[in-house]
């Protein structure tokens, strides 16, 4: 049975399915229980599964993540929410020093089946610190997986995969498109592979790699270019990166553009292009290009329209790359 749902509803449904199937799954964070999350991503879970399994916590991100580590050590599968990605930083010590390392430092004795969910990204005219896209910070940390879906279907399948994954997964949700569109999604639980990109449209002239909330913008940009045959790849997992899909595509097109919302320097685009240079250098017909956020703090709303690459800018950049 399918239902037509948006991304935030897909998050809720994934959690609901997994909590029903697996009694070790628990969901917690700030405003997650009674209110059902400030974005309503956990709505109804406390009613259905009780205060023991879906609950509100004190306002303390380090304790939210740190306690999830403890829960995971003792056989639970915590799925914790960080209210906005900009508020994950108090928990970075727990994420980087512990969550990412447990398996390695105990030589596999202890591993952490836990998920940290956080809405990320800007473009919603939000307050300071509410528009962060710092996926590259975490993708850089060995031992973490970083997933960013862009559709309701992928959100549900990838979140369930993340919950079932034996290792910690940072699951970043594109809040700008939380409610942008609906899709037919199976009501039952299903998984999609973490670490696998998706080719959204095939093409021969240019490869565009993107993820998260930028995916619809890239699709819009591409739909306005008739003269070129463009391959669009939704990366879906930032780390571990699906190198094969990217390489295969660049070997065909010889041209690659990476579009991301995060700041340019040292971003995930740099890693993608490095991989292309290592594995497909001889196929390149033009220098790899990036179109990204600026190397600046995300501007407050009166300046934010400049920051996120618009479909028009993306189109312009694709043409520049094709003409090179």
Ligand X SMILES: Cc1ncc(C[n+]2csc(CCOP(=O)(O)OP(=O)(O)O)c2C)c(N)n1
Residues contributing to the site for another protein (CB under 8 A): 30-31, 34-36, 38, 56-60, 62-63, 86-87, 89-90, 125-130, 264-265, 294-297, 299-304, 306-307, 312-313, 316
Cβ distance 41 to 33 under 8 Å? no
Q: What Cα–Cα distance (Å) separates residue 27 from each residue in 65, 124, 190, 308?
A: 12, 26, 19, 32
The active-site residue out of 98, 111, 129, 130 is 130
Residue number with CB closer to ligand X (85 or 169): 85
Residue 105 vs 129, nearer CB to ligand X: 129
CA angle 130, 148, 1 (to 5 degrees): 115
For ligand X, which stretch binds (CB under 6 A), given 49-57, 82-90, 113-121, 170-178? 82-90
| Residue of 311, 307, 323, 265 whose CA lies nearest to 290 | 265
At a CB cut-off of 8 Å and minimum separation 6, what does 229 contact? 203, 204, 205, 206
- Binding pattern to ligand X, positions 38-77, x when CB under 6 A? ---------------------x-x----------------
111 as an active site residue: the answer is no
The least distance separating ligand X from the CB of residue 135, rounded to whole angstroms, comes to 19
Using the rule CB under 6 A, is 87 a contact of ligand X? yes
Of residues 90 and 299, the one with the C-beta less far from ligand X: 90
* Nearest one of 66, 72, 79, 98 to 37, comparing CA atoms: 79
Verify binding: residue 83, ligand X, rule CB under 6 A: yes
**Does residue 165 bind ligand X (CB under 6 A)?**
no
216 backbone dihedrals φ, ψ, rounded to 5°: -60, -35
Burial of 220 (0-12, 13-18, 19+ CB in 10 A): middle
Minimum Å distance from CB 87 to ligand X?
Answer: 4
Distance in Å, CB of 130 to ligand X, minimum:
8
Q: How far is the CB of 161 from another protein (least distance, A)?
A: 30
Q: Which is nearer to another protein, 86 or 113 (CB)?
A: 86
DSSP assigned state of 159 = H
User: CA end-to-end span of the chain, whole Å?
Assistant: 48
Residues that bind ligand X (CB under 6 A): 30, 59, 61, 83, 87, 90
Show which residues are catalytic: 130
């Amino acid at each position: 049975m399918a239902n037509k749902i948006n991304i935030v509803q897909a998050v809720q449904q994934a959690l609901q399915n997994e909590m029903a199937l697996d009694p070790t799954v628990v969901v917690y964070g700030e405003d997650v229980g009674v209110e059902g999350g400030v974005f309503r991503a956990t709505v109804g879970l406390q009613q259905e599964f009780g205060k023991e399994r879906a609950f509100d916590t004190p306002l303390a991100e380090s304790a939210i993540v740190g306690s999830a580590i403890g829960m995971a050590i003792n056989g639970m599968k915590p799925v914790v929410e960080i209210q906005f990605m900009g508020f994950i930083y108090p928990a970075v010590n727990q994420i980087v020093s512990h969550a990412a390392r447990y398996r390695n430092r105990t030589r596999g004795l202890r591993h952490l089946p836990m998920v940290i969910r956080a809405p990320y990204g800007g473009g919603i005219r939000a307050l300071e610190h509410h528009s962060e896209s710092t996926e590259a910070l975490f993708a850089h940390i060995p031992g973490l997986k970083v997933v960013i879906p862009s559709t309701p279907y992928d959100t549900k399948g990838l979140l369930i995969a993340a919950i079932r994954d034996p290792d910690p997964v940072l699951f970043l949700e594109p809040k700008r498109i939380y409610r942008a569109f609906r899709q037919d999604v199976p009501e039952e639980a299903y998984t999609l592979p973490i670490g696998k990109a998706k080719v959204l449209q095939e093409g021969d002239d240019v490869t565009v790699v993107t993820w998260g909330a930028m995916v619809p913008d890239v699709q819009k940009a591409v739909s306005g270019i008739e003269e070129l045959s463009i391959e669009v790849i939704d990366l879906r997992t930032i780390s571990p990166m699906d190198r094969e899909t990217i390489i295969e595509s660049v070997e065909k097109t010889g041209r690659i553009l990476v579009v991301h919302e995060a700041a340019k320097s040292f971003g995930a685009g740099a890693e993608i292009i490095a991989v292309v240079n290592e594995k497909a250098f001889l196929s390149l017909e033009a220098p790899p290009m990036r179109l990204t956020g600026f190397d600046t703090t995300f501007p407050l709303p009166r300046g934010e329209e400049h920051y996120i690459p618009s479909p028009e800018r993306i189109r312009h950049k694709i043409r520049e790359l094709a003409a090179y």
